[in-house]
Structure 1
Amino acid sequence: MKFILKAVVIVAAATVPGVALAGQCPAGKSGTDVRADTGAPAKGVTDTVLTTIDVASEPTAIEGRSFRMRRLVIQPGGVVPWHSHGERPAIIYVQQGTITEYASSCSVPIVHRAGEATAELHNTSHWWKNTGKTPAILISSDLLKVGADGKMM
């Protein structure tokens, strides 16, 4: 009886919706610059800025930065082209669908599923592709540089 109860608890815990750890590069597959830019252009992506905060005027007083939240909808076969987070740390939350990441630090593709979140740090360069059959929706929050003219860079 205890074994059955324990099994039920384990299965229930595994199926409760919530934020899961994002897909990660498998052991032995990570490295520095193990994947290069493919040059694939943006395709099938809608990028909508939801809101921004000028963090220089907030108590954090981070000069030259804006905190931005976007909603990206990537259609099946759609591509978010190669980009770097060297100057723009971000957090991505997969709201719907499945998206595949091709990172410079991993020799194999990394699959991210709905309910997962992942950090994009200064050493992250990558591109994304929706290899699924339904649109993938990502919520992206980043700390963006702002130029002297006040425009986001």
Structure 2
Amino acid sequence: MDEPVAVPESRGVHVELLGTLDLGPEIEGMAGRVLRMRKVTIDPGGVFGPLHDHVGRPGTVFILEGTITDHRDGAAVEYGPGPGWPEDHSTVHWLENTGTEPAVEISVDIVGEA
């Protein structure tokens, strides 16, 4: 059996809420759910953890600047400016910026009301 991978603590992550939309009045069966858009900046050497899933919180990511490494399923995939990765019910991952410049992403997901 493989040893579990140690995920570094979150550090150097800045999150700005850009907007939300209550989905209850928009789509039948979506009461209590919100479409959320955030701008996430990860400093060089920064980590967006801990290891987390997206069960009940599907989303997608677009990279505006820099590169972000997505760690999941024992693999590390680097994404640069442009389309990022999907976050569905089977996603279990953590992120990091191994570059020398800040990495900026736009994250759009569906979450429960806060």
The normalised TM-score by structure 1 is 0.68
* Shift in CA distance, 36/120, structure 1 to aligned 2, threshold 3 Å: farther
Counterparts of 1:1-153 in structure 2, within 5 Å, are 36=4, 38-58=6-26, 60-61=27-28, 62-81=30-49, 82-103=51-72, 105=73, 107-146=74-113, 151=114
* Shift in CA distance, 36/68, structure 1 to aligned 2, threshold 3 Å: farther
The separation in 1 between residues aligned to 2:102 and 2:4, in whole angstroms, is: 26
Unaligned runs of 5+ in 1: 1-33
Amino acid at match of 1:65: R
Larger Rg: 1
Unaligned runs of 5+ in 2: none
**Percent identity for Structure 1 against Structure 2:** 34
Give the number of aligned pairs. 111
The structure with more helix, counted as a fraction of residues = 1
The structure with more strand, counted as a fraction of residues = 2
- CA RMSD in angstroms, aligned pairs only: 1.6
The normalised TM-score by structure 2 is 0.89
> Would the aligned equivalents of 1:99 and 1:129 in 2 still touch at CA under 8 Å?
yes
